[in-house]
Structure 1
Amino acid sequence: MPATWIFLIVLALSATGYLLGRRRALVSAGGDSRHLHSLPAYYGSNAALLVSVPALLALVLWLFAQPMVIQNRVEHLVPETSYANEGELSLVMSDVRRIAEGLDLAVEQGAMTEAEATDIRVETTNIRDRLGAVGVALGSDVEAPILVAAKAWREMNATGNMIRTGVVLLIALAGFGLGMVRADKDFRARNSVEKVILALLILAASLAILTTVGIIASLLFNTIEFFKLYPALDFFFGLTWAPSFGGGSELGILPLLWGTLYISVIALAVAVPIGLFAAVYLSEYASSTVRSFAKPMIEVLAGIPTIVYGLFALLTVGPMLFQAFGPDGAGWMGGGRAVMTAGLVMGIMLIPFVSSLSDDIINAVPQAMRDGSLGLGATKSETVKQVVLPAALPGIVGAILLAASRAIGETMIVVLGAGAAARLSMNPFEAMTTVTAKIVSQLTGDADFASPEALVAFALGMTLFVITLCLNVFALWIVRKYREQYE
């Protein structure tokens, strides 16, 4: 049975459990809810949670675990001659899974019978064409060992799905029965429901933390593998970025870091003053009519896709700058793609991040502080400068930090506006690139994931993560210093 149907059945049982649990509790109290320990809704909610939470948790875990277990068992059926390293093995297993799913799809659409799918052989059937007819594209002809592995995958997957259906539904029915037993007037249903909700909240927080740990671990392990193949000193202090899948690569990160920081600084130089001044005006000087119109218009910028900003940089800002600073102007600019092009457009993109957050933070400053300053004879501008902004400084620093992180992680504007050249230069009118742009380029195409040219993407990501972490620590230090000085 498909997972979607299992999910719907569990939801139906959960809704039924809610109604019957609530009804049984009222019946046990003689129809008078005053004799119940908890409100009637808690008894229904307790039954619904007992049905849905354990069953859906088991379903989710099963959906994650089953493919990994099957792949671990099927890998042994693939001969070692079919792959050269772990990276190629993962590609082979992707083909195995695609063939297995394609056979299931062909049976489902009636393109072949179950018996044909079970007995299909490469010697008598062009499997690539048969599966292509149902929309499953394969890059090459299917070999006999790969087909054997795909059949084993299909059989194990069918068995696993059948067992999954039975286990999940049994858990749901057990929860349904327990909910009916507990639907008694003396049962502390409210306490039970609140414990389950608390456990779900803790699970949500734990998943967020574990996701962060998983991201760091995946970056760290692959970075270690990269440094086993490429010297760390050459990576961190190399001045040349020239990856070559044929060998002899030079993978120095300094040109990429320089481009990242250069473009980010220009973007922040545009976004922070404009965004902060806009926030001060909207919160302290603008009338309610102007504010109701201006703030939504500024926030529209945050909803524009970054690819649109990239096209704006490529088609509008770049040509304008080239006309002013190119051969016909100052002569500093050799083409439309440059650091200045990406920096200006990225700064425009970051304005609503700084403006909206700073505006909300400034509005959160107590009005009593403004009234006290004005009552002591300070002007409006003096109140803003000496009272409001220092009080809102921690939040403003957080807004600027968010904008900086957004700038460092941007890719599309850089690709379309700044070019792909990795160089060290002080000229803002030259083409450069960033760490994120090179991460994308290194993981596209038919790269061998065991090679340093592919693994370097994880080292770049780990370096970027460390830089962002240091920025956060530095921002917290600034916030703490100024907060203590203000207090």
Structure 2
Amino acid sequence: MSIGLLLAIILGLAAVGYVIGIRRAKDRAGGDTRRLHSLAGYHGQSVLLFTAVPALLVVGAWLLLQPVVIEARVSGMIAESDVPQGSSLDLVMSDVRRVADGLNAIAANEQLTEDEIAAMGADLGGLRSRLGNAGVALASDVQPSVFEASRTYRQMNNTGLTALSISAILVALAGLVFSASRIQAEFRARNVSESFVKLLFIGSSFVAVLTTFGIIASLVVESVHFFQLYPIKDFLFSLTWNPQFRGGSDLGIWPLLWGTLYVSFVALLFAVPVGLLSAIYLSEYASKRVRSVVKPAIEILAGIPTIVYGLFALITVGPFLRDYFAQPLGLGTSSSSVLTAGLVMGIMLIPFVSSLSDDIINAVPQAMRDGSFGLGATHSETVRQVILPAALPGIVGAILLAASRAIGETMIVVMGAGAAAKLSLNPLEAMTTITVKIVSQLTGDTEFASPETLVAFALGMMLFIFTLGLNVIALYVVRKYREQYE
């Protein structure tokens, strides 16, 4: 049974439980709902919650634990001699999972029995061809041990899904029967339902917190693993980025960090003035008719895919800067440059600054404007000396959001700034950023245990620390000025 079908059955049982709860509550009240402590709908909700929530928790926990248990069991079937030279157990296990998925596809399409699947091990070359036809790409030839491990992986996975389906349905039925049997006229179903919903809200709020801790933990663990293989001193203080997967790599972060800051600075240098001035115009000077047209038009920029911005940088902005600035001034010959990526990224960031700043400026109380006008200030003086200082905390937040968006951008940098890791002040030279190198180091069938791959997590950790520092500084500025104007 597929997970989708299982979830549909659980939700169907919950819906049935809701109807049963309402009818049973009315029966217990003798048809007079005034005798019920809680409305009949609350009785239905209590049955629905006791039916669905425990079963869904079982499904979630099972799906988290099953892959760990199966991989621990199957990986023990792969001997060290079965790992190809220059490869790793992680890559072999990836092949095991792919072969298992391919066997499932072949068995479903050709209606094969387990004995017929086991017979495929006699012709591993033919098996790889059939897997290729099924859309399964492998890192190496299928070895007998990999085939047997794949069969075991497939069988355990299918058995686990069957056991999960039976267990989850039984838990849902048990919850339905238990909650329905508790329904009486005096049963406080509203209290039970509201307590359940409160716990659901608390759990939902913890999802974001736990996700944050999970992200940090994964970065820290893999970063520590990287620094066990590569000296932290060379990573933090080297000025060269030159990964060589065959050894002799220089993995200094400074060229990447410089490129990230440089591109982001150019983008903000363009986006902040344009976005802030457009926000002031829309909120203070534009008529309602103009505002109703211009603001949606600006916000359309936020909905354009970054790949489109990247193509715009590659085809239009890059050649223009090269032909009219870089080559005539003798500053470069490539259409990929920091200025290309920064300008296009700045265009993308305009709605982040403009729309948020516009909302923040409109939130400044009208009484502050009226008081300024009453003291004889002009409109421009009111904007400059009253409205902007009062809205400054929110504007700083908008700029911070734009900066975070710029630091995390990848596609525009790939197509506009290139992939050269270097330290240079020339904005018309090609450079790259941390996010681009994170993607490039994790792309392809590379050995996951190598420093050249694990460096992506160290780069991510450094980027996280850097953005966290920016947040702390922004919070300090916001609190300082908020105390002054509130």
TM-score bin, normalised by smaller chain: over 0.9
Does structure 2 retain, via aligned residues, the 8 Å contact 1:36–1:185? yes
Q: One-letter code of the match for 2:280?
A: V
Does structure 2 retain, via aligned residues, the 8 Å contact 1:241–1:255? yes
Deviation at 1:485, TM superposition (A): 2.9
Residue equivalent to 1:422: 421
Identity %: 60
Does structure 2 retain, via aligned residues, the 8 Å contact 1:271–1:347? yes
CA distance in 1, matches of 2:232, 2:133: 49
- Number of aligned positions between the proteins: 486
Q: Does 1:220 align with 2:220?
A: yes
Deviation at 1:369, TM superposition (A): 2.2
Deviation at 1:124, TM superposition (A): 7.7
Q: Give the stretch that moved more between structures: 226-235 or 166-175.
A: 226-235
CA distance in 2, matches of 1:124, 1:282: 68
Does structure 1 retain, via aligned residues, the 8 Å contact 2:125–2:142? no
**Matches of residues 97-246 of structure 1 in structure 2 within 5 Å?**
97-110=97-110, 112-123=112-123, 126-246=126-246
Deviation at 1:133, TM superposition (A): 3.8
CA distance in 2, matches of 1:347, 1:323: 21
Q: Deviations over 1:228-270 (max 9, x none)?
A: 2222222111111111112211111111111111111110010
CA distance in 1, matches of 2:123, 2:312: 55
CA distance in 2, matches of 1:372, 1:143: 82
Residue equivalent to 1:48: 48
Q: Does 1:311 align with 2:311?
A: yes
TM-score computed with the length of structure 1 as normaliser: 0.96
The 1:140/1:111 distance shift into structure 2, 3 A limit, reads farther
Does structure 2 retain, via aligned residues, the 8 Å contact 1:128–1:140? no
SS in 1 for 2:422: coil
Residue equivalent to 2:457: 458
Q: Deviations over 1:137-188 (max 9, x none)?
A: 4344321111111121122222212211111011100111122123322111
SS in 2 for 1:426: coil
Does structure 2 retain, via aligned residues, the 8 Å contact 1:243–1:453? yes
Does structure 2 retain, via aligned residues, the 8 Å contact 1:242–1:249? yes
Q: One-letter code of the match for 2:190?
A: R
**Matches of residues 234-383 of structure 1 in structure 2 within 5 Å?**
234-327=234-327, 329-383=328-382
Unaligned runs of 5+ in 1: none
Q: Deviations over 1:19-45 (max 9, x none)?
A: 110111122122222222222211111
Does structure 2 retain, via aligned residues, the 8 Å contact 1:99–1:147? yes
The 1:111/1:6 distance shift into structure 2, 3 A limit, reads closer
CA distance in 1, matches of 2:84, 2:117: 29
Residue equivalent to 1:27: 27
Residue equivalent to 1:72: 72
Residue equivalent to 1:444: 443
The 1:267/1:464 distance shift into structure 2, 3 A limit, reads same
Q: One-letter code of the match for 2:463?
A: L
CA distance in 1, matches of 2:379, 2:124: 87
CA distance in 2, matches of 1:374, 1:240: 58
CA distance in 2, matches of 1:27, 1:177: 16
SS in 1 for 2:122: coil
CA distance in 1, matches of 2:111, 2:86: 34
CA distance in 2, matches of 1:413, 1:285: 34
Q: One-letter code of the match for 1:373?
A: S
CA distance in 2, matches of 1:167, 1:65: 15
RMSD: 1.8
CA distance in 1, matches of 2:123, 2:454: 39
The 1:440/1:78 distance shift into structure 2, 3 A limit, reads same
Does structure 1 retain, via aligned residues, the 8 Å contact 2:124–2:142? no
The 1:10/1:455 distance shift into structure 2, 3 A limit, reads same
Deviation at 1:470, TM superposition (A): 0.3
SS in 2 for 1:121: helix
Does structure 2 retain, via aligned residues, the 8 Å contact 1:87–1:450? no
Q: Deviations over 1:395-448 (max 9, x none)?
A: 111110010011111111111111111111111111111111111111112322
Q: One-letter code of the match for 1:159?
A: T
Q: Give the stretch that moved more between structures: 402-411 or 174-183.
A: 174-183
Does structure 2 retain, via aligned residues, the 8 Å contact 1:122–1:143? no
Does structure 2 retain, via aligned residues, the 8 Å contact 1:337–1:418? yes
Q: Give the stretch that moved more between structures: 405-414 or 447-456.
A: 447-456
TM-score computed with the length of structure 2 as normaliser: 0.96
Return structure 1 stretches of 4+ with deviation > 4 angstroms. Answer: 84-87
CA distance in 2, matches of 1:457, 1:95: 23
The 1:449/1:186 distance shift into structure 2, 3 A limit, reads same
CA distance in 2, matches of 1:253, 1:194: 52
